[in-house]
Structure 1
Amino acid sequence: MTRLAPEDCRSMTELRQQIDMLDAELVALLTARAGYIDRAAELKLGEGLPARIEWRVEEVVESVRGRATEIGLDPDLAEALWRRLIDWSIDREARVLGPDATSGIDRSEDA
């Protein structure tokens, strides 16, 4: 199916099809991201790093807010979504790293 701009959708059926396509792409991107999270857990385990590295969380959130602002998305919405995604990612890593895995550390460029 061809991607249409919102203003080119002529019916709710057509519009819903476009949203469904975007949702499928988002799920695929989240799946790809999860693969990187799994690899991060492996690397952190080998390097003795915790799942949650607070400076990195804030760096990601700041970047996402900036990008959202640039392209016209509500930065508060973007931040809320990413904080939830980050929490999920940290929980996923913690399952690999063990019970003490969520303790934050000071800024480390290797993390």
Structure 2
Amino acid sequence: MQAAECHSLEEVRQYIDRLDDQIVELIAARNAYVKQAAKFKHSIDEIKGEERMEAVMDRVRLKAMESGVSPNLLSKLYKIMIDEMVEAEISEFRNAKSL
């Protein structure tokens, strides 16, 4: 994605605010899919799926490098996001099993 050429700090901030809105919406959508995934899994170990997490992290790091963003930054952000979403998925899984 190419950033627009801005002519003022206010314009830069407006672009950043719009991007932040989109990022939040995308994270919310990702979280909704993660919760849906609980329906298709059979155990908490499967939810924690280390192989899948490693694959996601590898893909994100590669995409970060291709996009000129620090892979370490994206790894840290994704680690936090994935850890929180796994907990949400576990809750969803437990709730479905208790019905």
**Range of TM-score over shorter length:** 0.7 to 0.9
Mapping of residues 6-85 of structure 1, within 5 Å: 8-44=5-41, 48-50=42-44, 51-85=47-81
Letter in 2 for 1:56: R
- Whole-Å Cα distance in 1 between the matches of residues 32 and 7 of structure 2? 38
Q: CA deviation at 1:42?
A: 1.7
Give the secondary structure class of the aligned counterpart of 2:48: coil
The runs of 5 or more residues in structure 2 that have no matched partner are: 95-99
Give the 3-state SS of the residue equivalent to 1:10 in structure 2.
coil
Counterparts of 1:85 and 1:79 in 2: how far apart (Å)?
Answer: 10
1:87 match: secondary structure = helix
How far has the Cα of 1:97 moved from its partner?
A: 2.4
The answer as to 2:89 corresponding to 1:93 is yes
User: Which consecutive aligned stretches of 4+ in structure 1 deviate over 6 angstroms post-superposition?
Assistant: none
* In 2: Cα distance, 1:42 partner to 1:95 partner: 12
Query: Identity percentage over the alignment?
Result: 37
Q: Structure 2: which amino acid aligns with 1:19?
A: I
Q: Which amino acid aligns with 1:89?
A: M
In the alignment, the residues of structure 2 paired with residue 96 and residue 27 of structure 1 have an alpha-carbon distance, to the nearest angstrom, of: 21
Give the counterpart letter for 1:94 in structure 2.
Answer: I
Look up the equivalent residue of 2:43 and give its one-letter code. Answer: L
Unaligned runs of 5+ in 1: 99-111
Between Structure 1 and Structure 2, the one with more helix by share is 2
